[in-house]
């Protein structure tokens, strides 16, 4: 079912594929076999969704963007952002303001509130040239108006796409999105953690099993240490460094994990009065601003924090002081500093690192996942020397500890999560190629039933799957008064809304839908001074049924043609036509109008009976000729065969057509059907309108 | 056949009594709302008591007494044990409302219908949902999906949508279409053609003058500031945590704008926790509030001009001078508003401003009569500590009970633990509340000593009556190898750290305000003394509508838009119900029901339906035409069967039988006029018809006002002489429709 095809441009919307409607395409535009710039494109039944819109923290400018040029942004219906981290949300202002995207964007309340602060800060601190700037503050403010909010579990329907989100546990407001298009469900986890920590809930297990699970694989097959051991290691390293007179640098991203670490540190300091003279600095004005958000959306946090909140604000730290810039920092004696960015690329954390890296008393605690290509990743392997910001090299003497607090699922969590869900298709994203590969192998050995497909597409590599979606319709109302037997026919209006189908009688249309029906009655007046009888006579020549009567109200003579059109002699000088609009009625009335106009122009002729008969005969022959000509134009090789049958040959297949009955004989079923249909249509075009038509 | 639906009102039909309805869907019984009034009359709950045990799920719509007040009592007395569903604010604010009710009542009477513990345990079984969350019931209710939607009346207020097999039953009472300061308007209008709609007739006869919200707000603050400037006090009797939020925002905004200095007090037993929680409910409020927080992190409920008070004594300490007090209860039957009213009513300068219609038979309803009564009789009750002989008698009684208790305890001490420590003295002196119940006292000073203790998180167990420490017999078991040890005692717990932290937090339900906590902690024996007095009402009494419900006109237009297949009317005076019923029969749908209490009506839809599979072969030949959200097509198909015995539709083998053509579309004359004008045709309305160009006229006859019944087909007549223009206009007309 699933196949990993060549990277092909997704702009081609109307691919000439027979099953195109049932083909589901998933293409990572970023985060395919890498960490950073998460962006996954999905399309099914001509509905398109983009999950996340991040940047790659190791690159700058356009190079940091996901491969947006692979898609046509104007075709995207919905864009869903899982959480506020830069690698998941930071290219959003660019995508909203600088591309042709016109769809709708959704994120949770907390994500939206922090998104603005975070990106404004990002724009300020990223020191790139103007050309490399992807967006400015105005773009962010404008994007805020376009972003809509969604609450956890709230079901939203856009354009037939249904989606809702679950708690992901990664950071405040992080969500996993479940998307339902025509019954096919896709779960996109974003970054998630199944472990409850100091302030966040663990990721929920969705109620329904998805058909496809797009899951992060950051930690691959690694296993996390239990949380209390990690916390102990963390506090022990800090405690011992400080007691030896050293300084501790914790490079951490301003939001998310930092709050968790601060909660740990604040509590540890409270329990150890001997440390009270050692300052803890938290160098992030941004985080200070975000505190209001953390204090407001306590409903998104776990029970523990909510109950603490009842008494006092747990985010009001007693032992931690804010630090605005390195100028305000007096580096005298031991201290603990938490500073961003987490990758030590630049900024305050890098400045401090450069100052402290050569002293072996100092420590650097790396508390979370570090992205490939950043200095933090380099120093984990403890090289002898490092390059400073000013280009010089310095010995790396400080101790480097890597204690992961990042709230990503580890292998144990991932495999149990997947086993609970049992999705038939798993797509791994957001992981380094090697880790991802190992994870894939290990998962394959776990899911040995063979029904589970695990795919690890690279960026821009499309995964195509086919889903045999059964279209179900509900027949309701008068049409459904009794269930039909096999072989009976059902005729009615098929109404499609989103992906639900209903069949109903036209009269029920207004009951079961907001559509209403109309009757258009037309009345047209034609000047006519001749005798009314002439019109009747002429009409009888064309139409089989012409009934004459008198109008009840005005007592004027009337004619009823085919029960459709009423011709009324309003006065000596005018006649009027009445009919209800429909194609046949319009046509009949047009012919009557033409006839009446002709009568008024021409002098009435004497009509010869025999002529009429002859015309009928001629008509028959003419019709045959027309049928033959039309068939030739359709099929090419048409010959008159034995006993009046027509022989039609197309590519060596031969069909025999009986002109009288319309029966077709042919070896080739397809041809047979086509000839039959063609003949039926030609006949209905050539033959006069039967009287029986309702 | 469709899903079977029965509706049985248990309370609140043909009058304005509290709301409580039983809705049974294919045998699954929902109790929707479980209300009580401020008088707490148990006879109202008779019908509920008869069915309580058969209920499978409870849905709550609004966090006020009328919608959920009877829940603790029903859970305790009637054996109602079904899971309860509500939104988070309804749960939280409902809980606070009940606390406030209890504490207000307790203050003035021997209130024993339910206790704080009963309230807590009733609310424990609440499952909290978010708006538009489709919650799939399991077990007996398999296949039923419930979803709360915005009602717009109170924070968290809910329109419930219950869906089974694609048929919707909607319960929408007290909705508000208008967008307010803190709430969005209801989304009820987005539901179209539900199978059943249950709604109220409360406001059917109440047509507000079409006044802008801004104007109304201005009048409101004008009246208040005039009174204040004249040196009078303003009392606003309000609910605990519902409409008061809107009033607070209106006042707060005006005070900031005009930088007024008159103090505003919000006085309920739970005011500070109410505002604390409300601050964290931004997700549930209006877009404007959410937006202001997202962009500037301004939480609208960080009140700058309003002081939150939780006891009357704090208000008494405030220096004299004009002030605004928002105090619960709105009914003036009990609570702070009652006491303040009695104090202030005699002064002509003062103003009592009602913002909602009082419940039937309450003091506030009496005062809202026109003309207002000159004097009213009120019962003044207060709780006073026991003194002198009464106190001695009480203490003797207590001692006797304790002795009995000790004796009993010694007899059953081999029984392991705590259970025996619960003293069973509920049935003691009727004059005196036993110490086991929480002892409220009007005198706030009693509590102040305990406050620090509470802040430290030390909450004494409610059973702490004994003056001695509980004694536990610690007998250790021995076997052949020595003392039996419990391995758990030696396990190093991962969660230790958490638990420590958890402890500091205390439990959530401990989050009562200090004042009410002091009432709970106060174990001074006390009693209630009452005396009736007549209050001369000299202060001005004004009623301004801030109840946040759609008025009669807008209810009717919403109903006409929703056009349910069947409509059930509840909650509203007999006249209002009858009026709305007649109106709806004429304009909304032919099936309108207004059942009596305990009258079960069957609103099973007589809809016939069956499911078919649409085969791929058929669908590939169908060409849809797009029409707004819909896509439509005509199908002629033959019925077949799939492998798994489903009916399926296949392409028809014989030529399709001709069918009467269907013209689909909804022509709005005004829109069409504009359309023609944009095409350069001269158009005007003349004598109910649209004159297009020189000669052609267009008319719409027999307006299908009755959507549910009738023909539902629009009749459009176009007439004119034979000319080019006629055909042109006809083409334009055709372009507004689809022909099938």
Q: Which CATH class is domain B5-208+545-602?
A: alpha beta
Q: Considering the entire predicted model, what is its pTM?
A: 0.76
pLDDT band at B439 (very low <50, low <70, confident <90, very high): very low
pLDDT band at B711 (very low <50, low <70, confident <90, very high): very low
Residues A71 and A87 in one domain: yes
Domain residue ranges of chain B, discontinuous segments joined by +: 5-208+545-602, 213-374+537-543, 613-651, 663-739
Lowest-pLDDT range of A21-25, B467-471, B516-520, B710-714:
B516-520
Shortest CB distance from B501 goes to which of A152, A267, A476?
Answer: A267
What is the spatial distance between Cα B483 and Cα A212, in angstroms, rounded to a whole number? 56
**Test the B interface: residue of A196, A315, A491, A672 with most B CBs within 10 Å:** A491
* Predicted pLDDT of residue B645: 74
State the burial class of residue A18 (Cβ atoms within 10 Å of its Cβ: 0-12, 13-18, 19+): exposed
Q: What are the residues facing A657 on neighbouring strands?
A: A646, A664
Mean pLDDT, rounded, for B704-716: 56
CATH code at position A37:
3.60.15.10
pLDDT at B423 over 50: no
CB contact under 8 A, A521 and B717: yes
Decide which of A382, A402, A422 is a domain's last residue. Answer: A402
Query: Considering Cα of B430, then B434, then B439, then B442, what sign does the dihedral take?
Result: positive
* Predicted pLDDT of residue B547: 85
pLDDT at B162 over 90: yes
Nearest CA among A211, A343, A366, A339 for reference residue A282:
A339
Mean predicted lDDT score pLDDT of chain B: 81
pLDDT at B437 over 50: no
CATH code at position A679:
3.30.310
CB contact under 8 A, A497 and B649: no
Of the two residues A561 and B596, the one the predictor is more confident about is B596
Nearest CA among B572, B598, B599, B597 for reference residue B584:
B572
For chain A of 694 residues, list the mean pLDDT of each consecutive stretch of 10.
Answer: 43 42 88 91 92 88 90 94 92 92 93 90 74 84 92 90 92 93 91 89 90 92 88 92 91 82 89 89 80 82 79 79 80 87 83 89 87 84 86 89 86 92 92 91 85 90 84 80 78 82 82 78 85 82 80 79 83 85 84 83 55 63 81 80 77 79 79 82 72 48
Nearest CA to CA, how far is A693 from chain B (Å)? 7
Say if A12 falls within a structural domain: no
* Predicted pLDDT of residue B470: 56
Shortest CB distance from B508 goes to which of A310, A509, A526?
Answer: A310
What is the spatial distance between Cα B151 and Cα B174, in angstroms, rounded to a whole number? 7
List A residues 161-180 in contact with B (Cβ-Cβ < 8 A).
164
User: Dihedral through CA A104, CA A108, CA A114, CA A119, nearest 10?
Assistant: -30
* pLDDT tens, residue by residue, A31-63: 999 988 999 999 998 899 999 999 988 888 888
Please name the residue ranges forming H helices in A43-91: 86-89
Say if A5 falls within a structural domain: no
What is the spatial distance between Cα A115 and Cα A141, in angstroms, rounded to a whole number? 11
CATH code at position A301:
3.40.50.10890
Nearest CA to CA, how far is B688 from chain A (Å)? 17
* Predicted pLDDT of residue B476: 62
Nearest CA to CA, how far is A372 from chain B (Å)? 33
Say if A344 falls within a structural domain: yes
CB contact under 8 A, B719 and A523: yes
What do you get for the CA distance between the two ends of chain B, in Å?
29
pLDDT at B191 over 70: yes
* Any B CB within 8 A of A152 CB: yes
Mean pLDDT, rounded, for B165-190: 89
Nearest CA to CA, how far is B170 from chain A (Å)? 16
Residues A234 and A367 in one domain: yes
Residues A58 and A194 in one domain: yes
Residues A156 and A62 in one domain: yes
* Any B CB within 8 A of A490 CB: yes
* Any B CB within 8 A of A494 CB: yes
Of the two residues A485 and B491, the one the predictor is more confident about is A485
- Interface predicted TM-score (ipTM): 0.73
* Any B CB within 8 A of A424 CB: no
pLDDT at B431 over 80: no
* Predicted pLDDT of residue A605: 55
pLDDT at B717 over 70: yes
What is the spatial distance between Cα A172 and Cα A175, in angstroms, rounded to a whole number? 9
CB contact under 8 A, B639 and A518: no
Domain count of chain A?
Answer: 5
Distances (CA, A) of B599 to A433, B21, B35, B66, B584: 68, 11, 18, 21, 21
Distances (CA, A) of A245 to A269, A335, A398, B594: 17, 9, 13, 81
Decide which of A566, A601, A636 is a domain's last residue. Answer: A601
Distance of CA B34 to the CA centre of its chain: 10
Q: Is B213-374+537-543 assigned to CATH 3.40.50.10890?
A: yes
Residues A115 and A237 in one domain: no
Residues A37 and A185 in one domain: yes
Q: Report chain B residues whose CB lies below 8 A from the CB of A488.
A: 638-639
Tokens at A316, concatenated: 């009001």
Of the two residues B607 and A205, the one the predictor is more confident about is A205
Shortest CB distance from A151 goes to which of B131, B134, B711?
Answer: B131
Residues A215 and A236 in one domain: no
Of the two residues A643 and B550, the one the predictor is more confident about is B550
* Predicted pLDDT of residue B523: 56
Say if A6 falls within a structural domain: no
Say if A449 falls within a structural domain: yes
What is the spatial distance between Cα B360 and Cα A82, in angstroms, rounded to a whole number? 50
Report the DSSP pairing between strands B158-164 and B144-150.
antiparallel
Half-sphere exposure of A426 (CA within 13 A, CB side): 25
Say if A679 falls within a structural domain: yes
The residue segments making up the domain with residue A484 are 473-512
Distance of CA A376 to the CA centre of its chain: 36
* Predicted pLDDT of residue A3: 44
CB contact under 8 A, B716 and A472: no
> Is A109 part of the annotated catalytic residue set?
no
What is the phi/psi pair of residue B337, to 5°? -60, -35
Residues A335 and A197 in one domain: no
Give CATH for domain B663-739: 3.30.1370
Say if A328 falls within a structural domain: yes
Nearest CA to CA, how far is B570 from chain A (Å)? 24
CB contact under 8 A, A516 and B704: yes
Using an 8 Å Cβ cutoff, are A494 and A503 in contact? yes
Residues A298 and A362 in one domain: yes
What is the spatial distance between Cα A128 and Cα A130, in angstroms, rounded to a whole number? 7
* Predicted pLDDT of residue A187: 95
Nearest CA among A464, A466, A462 for reference residue A32:
A462
Tokens at B450, concatenated: 């305990």
Decide which of A402, A422, A437 is a domain's last residue. Answer: A402
Mean predicted lDDT score pLDDT of chain A: 83
Residues A454 and A594 in one domain: no
Catalytic residue among A408, A510, A574, A578: A408
* Predicted pLDDT of residue B442: 39
* Predicted pLDDT of residue A322: 83
Residue A289 region by backbone torsions, left for phi larger than 0, else alpha for psi between -120 and 50, else beta: alpha
E strand residue ranges, B437-525: 478-479, 482-483
Residues A35 and A109 in one domain: yes
Q: Report chain B residues whose CB lies below 8 A from the CB of A503.
A: 612, 635
* pLDDT tens, residue by residue, B79-123: 898 999 999 999 999 999 999 999 988 888 888 889 899 999 999
CB contact under 8 A, B657 and A491: yes
């Amino acid at each position: 079912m699933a196949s990993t095809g060549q990277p092909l441009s997704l702009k081609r919307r109307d691919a000439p594929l027979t099953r195109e409607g049932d083909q589901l395409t998933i293409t990572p535009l970023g985060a395919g076999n890498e960490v950073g710039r998460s962006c996954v494109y999905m399309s099914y039944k001509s509905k398109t969704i983009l999950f996340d819109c991040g940047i790659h923290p190791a690159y700058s400018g356009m190079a940091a963007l996901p491969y947006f040029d692979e898609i046509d942004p104007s075709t995207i219906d919905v864009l869903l952002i899982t959480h506020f981290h830069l690698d998941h949300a930071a290219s959003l202002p660019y995508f909203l303001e600088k591309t042709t995207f016109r769809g709708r964007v959704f994120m949770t309340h907390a994500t939206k509130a922090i998104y603005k602060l975070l990106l404004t800060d990002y724009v300020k601190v990223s020191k790139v040239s103007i050309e490399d700037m992807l967006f400015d503050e105005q773009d962010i403010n404008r994007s805020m108006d376009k972003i809509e909010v969604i609450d956890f579990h709230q079901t939203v329907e856009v354009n037939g796409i249904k989606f809702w989100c679950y708690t992901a546990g990664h950071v405040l407001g992080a969500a996993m999105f479940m998307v339902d298009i025509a019954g096919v469900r896709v779960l996109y986890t974003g970054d998630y953690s199944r472990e409850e920590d100091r302030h966040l809930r663990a990721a929920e297990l969705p109620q329904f099993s998805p058909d496809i699970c797009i899951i992060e694989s950051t930690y691959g097959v690694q296993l996390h240490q239990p949380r209390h051991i990690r916390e102990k290691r963390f506090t022990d390293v800090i405690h011992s460094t400080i007691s030896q007179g050293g300084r501790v640098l914790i490079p951490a991203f301003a939001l998310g994990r930092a709050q968790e670490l601060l909660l740990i540190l604040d509590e540890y300091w409270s329990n150890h009065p001997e440390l009270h003279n050692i300052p803890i600095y938290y160098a992030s004005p941004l985080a200070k601003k975000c505190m209001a958000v953390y204090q407001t959306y306590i409903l998104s946090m776990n029970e523990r924090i909510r109950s603490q909140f009842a008494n006092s604000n747990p985010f009001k730290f007693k032992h931690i002081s804010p630090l605005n810039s390195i100028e305000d920092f007096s580096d005298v004696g031991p201290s603990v500093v938490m500073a961003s960015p987490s990758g030590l690329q630049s900024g305050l954390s890098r400045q401090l690192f450069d100052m402290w890296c050569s002293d072996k008393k100092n420590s650097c605690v790396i508390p979370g996942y570090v992205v490939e290509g950043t200095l933090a990743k380099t120093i984990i392997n403890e090289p002898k020397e490092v390059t400073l910001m000013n280009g010089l090299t310095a010995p790396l003497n400080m101790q480097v500890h890597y204690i992961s607090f990042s709230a990503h699922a580890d292998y144990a969590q991932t495999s149990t999560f997947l086993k609970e869900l049992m999705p038939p298709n798993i797509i791994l994203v957001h992981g380094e190629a090697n880790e991802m590969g190992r994870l894939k192998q290990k998962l394959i050995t776990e899911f040995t039933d063979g029904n589970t497909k695990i795919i690890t597409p690279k960026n821009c590599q499309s995964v195509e799957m086919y889903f045999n979606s059964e279209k179900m319709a509900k027949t309701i109302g008068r049409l459904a008064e009794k269930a039909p037997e096999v072989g009976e026919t059902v005729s009615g209006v098929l109404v499609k809304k989103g992906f639900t189908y209903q069949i109903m009688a036209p009269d029920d249309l207004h009951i079961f839908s907001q559509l209403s029906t109309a009757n258009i009655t037309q009345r047209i007046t034609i000047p006519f001074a001749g005798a009314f009888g002439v019109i009747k006579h002429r009409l009888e020549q064309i139409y089989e049924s012409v009934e004459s009567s008198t109008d009840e109200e005005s007592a004027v003579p009337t004619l009823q043609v085919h029960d459709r059109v009423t011709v009324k002699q309003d006065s000596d000088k005018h006649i009027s036509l009445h009919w209800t609009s429909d194609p046949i009625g319009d046509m009949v009335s047009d012919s009557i109008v033409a006839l009446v106009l002709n009568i008024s122009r021409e002098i009435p002729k004497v009509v010869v009976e025999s002529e009429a008969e002859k015309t009928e005969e001629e008509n028959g022959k003419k019709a045959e000729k027309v049928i033959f000509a039309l068939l030739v134009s359709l099929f090419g090789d048409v010959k008159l065969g034995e006993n009046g049958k027509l022989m039609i040959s197309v590519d060596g297949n031969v069909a025999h057509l009986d002109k009288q009955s319309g029966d077709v004989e042919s070896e080739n079923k397809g041809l047979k059907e086509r000839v039959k249909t063609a003949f039926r249509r030609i006949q209905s075009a050539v033959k006069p309108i039967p009287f029986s038509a309702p | 056949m469709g899903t079977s639906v029965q509706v049985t009102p248990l309370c609140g039909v043909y009058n304005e009594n509290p709301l409580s309805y039983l809705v049974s869907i294919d045998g699954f019984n929902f109790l929707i709302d479980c209300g009580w009034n401020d008088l707490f009359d148990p006879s109202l709950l008779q019908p509920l008591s008869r069915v309580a045990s058969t209920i499978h799920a409870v849905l709550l719509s609004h966090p006020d007494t009328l919608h959920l007040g009877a829940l603790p009592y029903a859970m305790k007395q009637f054996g109602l044990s079904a899971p309860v569903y509500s939104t988070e604010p309804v749960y939280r604010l409902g809980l606070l409302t009940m606390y406030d009710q209890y504490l207000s009542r307790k203050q003035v009477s021997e209130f024993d219908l339910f206790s704080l513990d009963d309230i807590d345990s009733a609310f424990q079984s609440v499952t909290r949902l978010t708006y538009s969350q489709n919650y799939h019931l399991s077990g007996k209710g398999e296949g039923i999906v419930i979803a709360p939607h915005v009602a717009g009346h109170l924070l968290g207020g809910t329109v419930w949508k219950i869906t089974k097999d694609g048929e919707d039953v909607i319960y929408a009472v007290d909705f508000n279409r208008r967008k307010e300061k803190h709430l969005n308007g209801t989304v009820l209008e987005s539901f179209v053609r539900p199978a059943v709609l249950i709604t109220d007739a409360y406001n059917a006869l109440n047509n507000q003058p079409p006044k802008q919200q801004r104007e109304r707000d201005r009048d409101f603050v004008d009246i208040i500031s005039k009174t204040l400037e004249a040196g009078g006090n303003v009392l606003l009797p309000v609910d605990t945590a519902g409409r008061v939020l809107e009033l607070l925002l209106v006042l707060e905004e005006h005070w900031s704008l005009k930088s007024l200095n008159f103090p505003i007090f919000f006085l309920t037993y739970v005011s500070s926790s109410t505002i604390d929680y409300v601050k964290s409910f931004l997700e549930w409020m209006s877009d404007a509030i959410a937006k202001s927080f997202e962009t500037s992190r301004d939480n609208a409920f960080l009140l700058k001009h309003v002081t939150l008070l939780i006891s009357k004594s704090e208000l008494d300490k405030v220096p004299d001078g004009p002030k605004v007090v928002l105090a619960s209860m709105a009914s003036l039957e009990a609570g702070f508003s009652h006491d303040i009213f009695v104090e202030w009513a005699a002064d002509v300068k003062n103003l009592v401003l009602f913002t909602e219609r009082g419940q039937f038979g309450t003091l506030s309803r009496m005062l809202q009569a026109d003309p207002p009564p000159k004097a009213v009789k009120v019962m003044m009750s207060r709780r006073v500590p026991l003194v002198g002989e009464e106190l001695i008698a009480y203490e003797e009684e207590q001692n006797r009970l304790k002795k009995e208790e000790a004796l009993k305890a010694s007899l059953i001490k081999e029984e392991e633990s705590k259970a025996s420590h619960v003293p069973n003295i509920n049935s003691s002196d009727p004059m005196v509340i036993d110490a086991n119940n929480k002892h409220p006292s009007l005198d706030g000073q009693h509590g102040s000593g305990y406050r620090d203790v509470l802040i430290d998180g030390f909450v004494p167990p409610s059973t702490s009556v004994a003056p001695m420490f509980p004694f536990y017999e610690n007998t250790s078991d021995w076997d052949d190898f020595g003392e039996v040890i419990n391995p758990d005692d030696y396990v190093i717990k991962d969660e230790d750290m958490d638990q420590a932290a958890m402890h500091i937090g205390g439990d959530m339900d401990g989050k009562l305000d200090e004042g009410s906590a002091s009432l709970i902690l106060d174990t001074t024996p006390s009693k209630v003394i009452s005396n009736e007095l007549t209050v001369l009402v000299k202060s001005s009494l004004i009623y301004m509508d801030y109840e946040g419900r759609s008025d009669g006109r807008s209810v009717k237009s919403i109903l006409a838009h929703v056009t349910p297949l069947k409509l059930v009317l509840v909650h509203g005076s007999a006249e209002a119900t009858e009026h709305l019923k007649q109106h709806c029969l004429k304009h909304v749908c032919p099936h309108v029901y207004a059942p009596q209490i305990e009258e079960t009506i069957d609103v099973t839809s007589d809809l016939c339906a069956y499911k078919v599979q649409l085969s791929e072969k058929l669908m590939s030949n169908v060409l849809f035409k797009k029409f707004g959200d819909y896509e439509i097509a005509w199908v002629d198909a033959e019925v077949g069967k799939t492998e798994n015995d489903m009916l399926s539709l296949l392409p028809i083998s014989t030529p399709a039988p001709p069918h009467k053509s269907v013209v689909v579309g909804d022509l709005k004359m005004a829109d069409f006029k504009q359309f023609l004008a944009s095409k350069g045709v001269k158009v005007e309305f003349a004598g109910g018809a649209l004159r297009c160009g020189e000669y052609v006229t267009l008319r719409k006859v027999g307006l299908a006002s009755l959507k549910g019944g009738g023909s539902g087909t629009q009749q459009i007549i176009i007439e004119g002489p034979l000319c080019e223009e006629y055909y042109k206009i006809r083409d334009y007309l055709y372009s507004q429709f689809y022909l099938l």
